[in-house]
Structure 1
Amino acid sequence: MGVSMDQVLDDLVAESRVLQALVAGLDDTGIAAATPAEGWSIRDQLTHLAYFDETATLAATDPEAFRREAAALAGRGDDFPDQVAAEHAGLGAGAVRDWFARARTALVDTFRGIEPRTRLPWYGPDMSALSSVTARLMETWAHGQDVADALGILREPTDRLRHVAHLGVRTAGFAFTLNGRPVPDTPVRVELDAPSGARWEWGPADAADRVTGPALDFCLTVTQRRHVSDTALQVTGPVATEWISIAQAFAGTPGPGRAPGAVPPAGGRT
């Protein structure tokens, strides 16, 4: 994409502020409200982000310590994100907001001084520092979608979605591997209409397999916040169809996704 570390971090800060504004007025009852992610409250969405912000910062500052902690966490089973959420279920709204703010500020300050191509450990393959920050932005937007859906609030889409879309395209092969399927050789063309009206494109222009439509709908699909049938995406070809059915821009075990119609179309108050 040709973006700098500062550009991605600036967009991460902007996305963080959107989420913080969503939860700024919640009391202890409000922050315990259920979200579309089964079994997860708004609190769980925020503590998940704060916890993994802290581990991302640790990966950047002390890779060996991160590897030890990641191995211990993985040893607790594939449901360790649920375990992390459960461990912080007693936090009040103010404590949750403060933790998220501290962890996010520390992460941004740490990554400002890192060379973008630096390889850092994570819970799957190592990734570049720039990819790590992009993943934090994707996670913030995706978990923020769950919070917005829980509150019935429509977030105005912005061209910050390009980071999420790019990660969604880049992880296509990862999604096949994660689901125990061979990575196809067939190229897929992705053409998305950005919120600004721009056209974002990936893949060969003459590819028969294609995914086209609104960038927002693509991002909702690859972060598994909407089933593709509940979007305006047009998917053509067997490889594109298989990919979009398992697309997953986030690390970890294969996500369950959302059933058709499980989440109402994005709407509500702004």
Structure 2
Amino acid sequence: MVDLKDLLADLAAESEQLDGLVSDLPPAGWARPTPAPGWSVGHQIAHLAWTDEIAALAATDAEEFLAAVVAAPDPARLVDAGAEEFLAPPAELLPRWRAGRAALAAALARVPPGGKLPWFGTRMSPASMATARIMETWAHGTDVADALGVTRPATARLRHVAHLGFRTLGHSFAAHGRPVPTVPVRVELAGPHGEGWAYGPADAADRVTGPALDFCLLVTQRRHRADLALAATGPVADAWLDVAQAFAGPPGPGRAPTAAATDVARGVPA
């Protein structure tokens, strides 16, 4: 079990790393397109700011949160609409994002022990919410880094993303309209500093192995499996790598394989 205080510290560190990428960007940098179709760097930060604020609302006023969800004109576009609503010039958006994530951390820390937050179609503990925010901040930060041509160092905070990726195995199949497997899967990952992270029964026949960074990129759908050094043993593990998603909601389109991965699949020499 990870302590909520430690989770909030890791969430703050993940947010600060992304903050460092965008804080000194000129307006043209905020307008730069990211790998997410139709989303600029500004959209990515606006999405995080919107989600932090609505998560803080869920933690402080459940009735108002539910009323806001019910009042949404188009629930299917709620995420995109939130990013569009919060999109603003950097001088306005950056402080709003900073204030919102600080307010969320304070709100989560005040939730009584055993308390649950209403969320979209479910309820979450403060620890689960903090873990989800780490995952989202890292994933959208990856989009920003890709847009800026920056390679971010992998950190031990990826263990939260990897853990969430493993726990959402069943959701991944269900979101794609497939039966949820009953066969256990073992995941064995090499952490960024050589440490080993393992999930699932040690004797499971179905297994996924590889670098933790690659697994996190897969479950957040930031890279196609063909571009990653992940190995799957067994039919369930192999099928999972095609549908994995650590985030809630309907299945995302994922990312297309790079030209290099496509050439390898076709047997074209490098």
TM-score normalised to the size of structure 1?
0.93
Give the C-alpha shift of residue 171 in structure 1: 0.7
State the one-letter code of the partner of 1:200. Answer: W
Which of 195, 198, 201 is residue 198 of structure 1 equivalent to?
Answer: 195
Contact 1:210 1:240 in 2 (8 A): yes
- State the one-letter code of the partner of 1:68: A
Please report how far the alpha carbon of residue 115 of structure 1 lies from its aligned counterpart in structure 2 after TM superposition: 3.8
Say yes or no: does 1:81 pair with 2:79. Answer: yes
Question: How far 1:116 sits from its partner (Å)?
Answer: 5.5
Flag structure 1 segments of 5+ consecutive residues without an equivalent. Answer: 265-270
Q: Separation in 1 of the partners of 2:127 and 2:50?
A: 19
SS of corresponding position for 1:79: helix
Distance 1:68 1:92 in 2: 29
Residue matched to 2:177: 180
Q: Comparing 135-144 with 115-124, which one deviates more in the overlay?
A: 115-124
Q: Which has the higher contact order (CA 8 A, sep 6+)?
A: 1
Q: CA deviation at 1:92?
A: 0.8
Separation of aligned partners in 1, 2:249 and 2:114 = 22
Residue pairs, 1:139-154, within 5 angstroms: 139-154=136-151
Tell me which amino acid in the other structure corresponds to 1:201: A
After TM superposition, list the pairs within 5 Å mapping 1:101-140 onto structure 2: 101-115=98-112, 117-140=114-137
Instruction: Report SS of the residue matched to 1:200.
Output: strand
Which residue number in structure 2 is paired with residue 55 of structure 1?
54
Q: What code does the residue aligned with 1:164 have?
A: V
Aligned residues of 2:109 and 2:126 also touching (Cα < 8 A): no
CA RMSD after TM alignment = 1.6
Q: Which residue is equivalent to 1:39?
A: 38
Once structures 1 and 2 are overlaid, which stretch shifts more, 78-87 or 222-231? 78-87
Quote how far apart the aligned CAs of 1:24 are: 1.2
CA contact (8 A) 1:116 1:128 kept: no
- The one-character-per-residue Cα deviations of 1:15-48 (angstroms, maximum 9, x if unpaired) are 0110000001112211010000111000000010
Q: Percent identity?
A: 54
Distance 2:191 2:251 in 1: 27
Query: Counterpart amino acid of 2:226?
Result: S
Structure 1 residue 263: Cα displacement: 11
Equivalent in the alignment of 1:21:
20
Q: How far apart are 1:197 and its partner, in Å? A: 1.1
> What is the number of equivalent residue pairs in this alignment?
261
* TM-aligned CA deviation for residue 72 of structure 1: 2.3
Q: Given that residues 49 and 86 in structure 2 are in contact (C-alpha distance below 8 angstroms), is that contact kept between their aligned partners in structure 1?
A: no
What is the CA-CA distance between 1:141 and the residue it aligns to?
0.4
Question: For the residues of structure 2 that align with 1:164 and 1:263, how far apart are their CA atoms?
Answer: 27
CA distance 1:119–1:6, shift in 2 (3 Å) = same
CA distance in 2, matches of 1:251, 1:72: 20
Q: Which structure 2 residue ranges, 5 or more long, are not aligned?
A: 262-270
Query: Structure 1 pair 5/116, CA: closer, same or farther in 2 (3 Å)?
Result: farther
The residue aligned with 1:255 is: 252
Contact in 2 for aligned 1:117/1:130 (Cα 8 Å): no
